[in-house]
């Protein structure tokens, strides 16, 4: 178990000690999609859904989720986030709501999980807001798009 950073010598799960790492500027971007019927997209655009304005509720849910990632993901460190952005847009061609999130911070560990959690929870919220009119929605394409800072950078080729 010595090769695994999240296990101690007895094989028990631990949160990695990041105390000796330098504080650096870090950022991460993620995305997710909610595929739905074109009638559901029209209802979103016309603000006709019974639970209210889908995009604003989903945006706030994504922001709140990013701030609470360490509560939901056991080995994530609580982070002091400098910036959280969640954007939602309709993609008529693919009949989906496309969600992007961006997180920035000054810290000792990255924000990948916060970006992924923000996009995921925003997608779940879109689903919740629209389920009364569309039972066939599919949440998908949740992925890390970009990570900057720390030991290495990452930029998705997709």
pTM assigned to the model: 0.91
pLDDT at 5: 67
Task: Kindly give, in sequence order, each residue whose CB lies less than 8 Å from that of residue 126, ignoring residues fewer than 6 positions away.
Answer: 34, 54, 58, 88, 97, 99
pLDDT at 18: 83
Q: Which of 3, 10, 22, 128 is catalytic?
A: 128
pLDDT at 126: 98
pLDDT at 62: 98
- C-alpha distance from residue 130 to each of 40, 44, 46, 62, 87 (Å): 7, 8, 13, 16, 17
pLDDT at 2: 47
pLDDT at 15: 76
pLDDT at 1: 42
**Mean pLDDT, 10 residues at a time, the chain of 158 residues:** 62 79 94 98 94 96 98 92 98 98 94 97 98 97 95 85
Q: What six digits make up the tokens of 41?
A: 């997209």
Q: Is 39 a catalytic residue?
A: no
Q: Any idea what DSSP says for residue 7? A: B
Domains in the chain: boundaries: 24-149
> Under a CB-based contact definition with an 8 Å cutoff, are residues 133 and 40 in contact?
yes
Fold adopted by 24-149: Alpha-Beta Plaits (3.30.70)
């Amino acid at each position: 178990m010595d090769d695994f950073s999240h296990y101690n010598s007895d094989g028990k799960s631990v949160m990695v000690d990041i105390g000796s790492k330098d504080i650096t500027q870090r950022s991460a971007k993620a995305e997710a999609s909610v595929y739905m019927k074109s009638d559901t997209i029209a209802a979103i655009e016309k603000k006709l859904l019974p639970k209210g304005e889908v995009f604003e509720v989903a945006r706030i849910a994504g922001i709140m989720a990013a701030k609470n990632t360490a509560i939901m993901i056991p080995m994530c460190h609580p982070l002091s986030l400098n910036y959280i952005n969640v954007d939602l847009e309709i993609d008529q061609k693919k009949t989906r709501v496309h969600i992007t999130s961006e997180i920035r911070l000054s810290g000792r560990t990255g924000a990948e999980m916060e970006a992924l959690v923000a996009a995921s929870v925003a997608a779940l919220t879109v689903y919740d807001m629209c389920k009364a009119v569309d039972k066939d929605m599919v949440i998908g394409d949740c992925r890390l798009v970009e990570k900057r800072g720390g030991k290495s950078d990452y930029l998705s080729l997709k």
